[in-house]
Chains A and B, each alone.
Chain A
Amino acid sequence: MNIGTRKILDRSFTAVGIGSIIVMAVALMIVVVPIITNGIGAVFFTGTVEHRKMLFSEFKRGDSENLSSEVASSERYRAKVYQMLTGFEAELETMAPEQKAEYQAKYTQVRAALQALLGPLPGDPEPMLTRFKYGQTRWEKAEEKLHDLLYETRWDNSNPEVMAKEYFVSRAIGFQGTSLVKLFPYVKNNLESMLLPEFTCYWGFITDSSVDSHFFGGIWPEIQGTFFLAVGAMLFAFPLGVVAAVYFTEYARPGFLNSMLRSANSTLAGVPSIVFGMFGLAFFINTMKVSESKSVIAGALTLAIMILPTIIRAAEEAILAVPKTYREASLSLGSTKWNTIATVILPAALPGILTGGVISLGRAAGETAPIIFTAAVSVGSAIGLADVFSSPTPALSWNIYNLASEHEAAAQIRHVQYGMVLALVSIVLMLNLSAIVLRARISKKLKG
């Protein structure tokens, strides 16, 4: 090959390499940036007085004097709204029956929009669900609800060829000529005074339990559940995996059984995780009866089986990478085989073994399928350490899926979903980061 072609080849290969790295980076940004910006919104946001009311009565948090003065000031502006409502209700009574029916229907919608915005109105019965006890706790949501109050959403079906088009009609027009028409500009102009938005830093999102299936509160039960499951899986899989790797590399005699075991192990590493989930249900719960039904222990065992092949592989490779000379040196000093493994081989292989372990830990934290049937529930409170043998737990991976797809009001709690995603991503990243740091430290110690 002449030097010219070689240079062109080198250059084009460099270009391809850099290009693919850029594509990867862009793809990563597209995924990660919304996760971070939206996820951070779960903790840092513009909260309304309703948020502070909720915090005080559900979590006993906040300054009661401050809160009551805030409530008093917001009530002063809200009183005018209530007045307008009672005024209009009286006006309704004086109307002719069919006119009254027409206005009544529209008025019910207005009341509903106001309830969503400000919470229960005077005279409403005490709501059953906590989510209806408060108005909008987040300012950006309140603005959406304000829009709902001011405009009615209609669908344009006139052209059957295309999809129906959404358009808005001002509700104020519908109430032209009644006393209620003044309500709309009033609410619009005084919403801030009624809700008192204020920059809020809600750390409770991480440390609180959820209230009314994630309408309010935080994701601590999920974080704790993820932690229990991942650490529990590690407690089983790590020692077992290291022992198995030591057996494979140091004790197993080459032969049919050994190669069978090894290929079984490799195959296991490629089995889809949902299969492990089914296996966990069938084996740990139905056959072994480690618990009555779903439990943390069953989920941890299932995850352990799932990550075991990876840990074994990583540990095997790390052990095989230990220079033969260490083994010779140790044996020549009169060390037994076991002693050599424990005092020389394993310490030297530790960085590799740990890396495999932490990567598996991250995987155990993030997997959904294995815990669906064995450990996860959609809503639940944080469980104590003693309950791991009997109770299931919420967990980030499963709850992200559940909130995004199966929750009855998925669209209203997007910030919680993003918050959970960010929490999970941070946990896995932190684990991987700690693995890198740990590895670097141990390698440095080994290298001197």
Chain B
Amino acid sequence: MTENQGPRDEWPLYEVFVRGKRGLNHVHVGSLHAADDEMAVRHARDVYTRRNEGVSIWVVRADAITASSPDEKDPLFAPNGDKVYRHPTFYAIPANVPHM
């Protein structure tokens, strides 16, 4: 990790994840700049949860994230295409069987 992001010595970029309510995953909501982790949480609270949009916030420096590949539709996910048996609709269940 580098201290300076660009020539202007801007505060580093953080990605922000918010848990909307109990029982839900944290979801990526956007990014912000902060000098350190603690400030990032405070800023995330002000920028992304002004109306009770969350019960918990994660922040992580953007340069600490490893991503799958440069393209969103990427070969890493291609094998899923032929594994339709992972989806419930792969299995035919008679209509008279309840609660399925």
Do A and B share a complex?
no
Chain B residues close to A by CB (< 8 Å): none
Chain A residues close to B by CB (< 8 Å): none
